[in-house]
Amino acid sequence: MRRPFIAGNWKLNKTIAEAEELIGALLPRVGAVEDVDVVICPPFLALQAAVDSTRGSAVQVYAQNMHEKDSGAFTGEVSAPMLFELGVYGAIVGHSERRQLFGETDEGVARRAAGALEAGLWVIACVGETEAEREAGETEEVLRRQAGVLEAHEQLVLAYEPVWAIGTGKTATPEQAQEAHAFLRGLIDVPILYGGSVKPDNAAELLAQPDVDGALVGGASLDVESFAAICKAAAQSF
């Protein structure tokens, strides 16, 4: 039996005080959901507060990014050993916004994933095609290139996030998600999450697909009721 994995990516949202308030409201709701791995990914400055607020609970805290090196002349960056010492459990690498807005490459994502895993962190490595690439029939080519630089690891999780479905209100159909997930599983055998406008009203159908192991949730993770409903849908779907 697969164990569902639901991660909430808060992106550039929530101050320290707001993070503590959100977690305080969230824990009683997701604490009642059994057999689901629940992760939250606050911004860097709220990580310590999140670790402290979730201590003793089943909710794990991940960072939204990290540098590939342990230390060095990399102004503004944070390393995997720093996160690990803080009590952070894992990190997202290669999110489409990092690729598109900050020029991150497949090779850089692979190096960050390797650095995080070596430090003992779990990793959610994101892959996914743009709308233009899907319309050109290049989805599998893109996924093969992005996932092909990663090596399977017991602490590695993939997140398939079609770029055209992130923050747009568009969502891949369950059939489209399943097709992409099945293709990725043929390349690398690790758990695979779906990310892209996941909401309570579409979560159950997406999570019911045989190769969808969970969800990377964006905007809906900032709403306690919505995120709790998605976690509950995951428990029921599996």
Specify the pLDDT at position 237: 84
Q: How confident is the model at residue 154 (pLDDT cuts 50, 70, 90)?
A: very high
- Average pLDDT over all residues of the chain: 95
Has residue 32 got a pLDDT over 80? no
> CA-CA distance, 154 to 134, in Å (whole number)?
30
Question: Does residue 146 carry a pLDDT above 90?
Answer: yes
The pLDDT assigned to 1 comes to 54
Percent of the chain whose predicted confidence (pLDDT) is above 70:
100
Domain that includes residue 169, residue range: 5-237
Assess whether pLDDT exceeds 90 at residue 118: yes
Q: Where are the alpha helices (DSSP H) in 96-191?
A: 96-102, 106-119, 131-135, 139-147, 174-187
DSSP string, 39-68: EEE--GGGHHHHHHHHTTSS-EEEES--BS
End-to-end, the C-alpha distance of the chain in Å comes to 8
Residue 19 confidence class, pLDDT cut points 50, 70, 90: very high
CA atoms of 226 and 207, how far apart (whole Å): 15
Mean pLDDT of 56-60: 94
Return the CATH number at 78: 3.20.20.70
Residue 227: which region, alpha, beta or left (left: phi > 0; alpha: psi -120 to 50)?
alpha
pLDDT tens track for 177-236: 999 999 999 999 999 999 988 999 999 999 999 999 999 999 999 999 999 999 999 999
The pair phi, psi for residue 38, each rounded to 5°, is -115, 130
* Catalytic center residues: 95, 161
Residue 88 above 70 pLDDT? Answer: yes
> How many domains does the chain divide into?
1
| Whole-angstrom distance, CA of residue 132 vs CA of residue 62 | 31
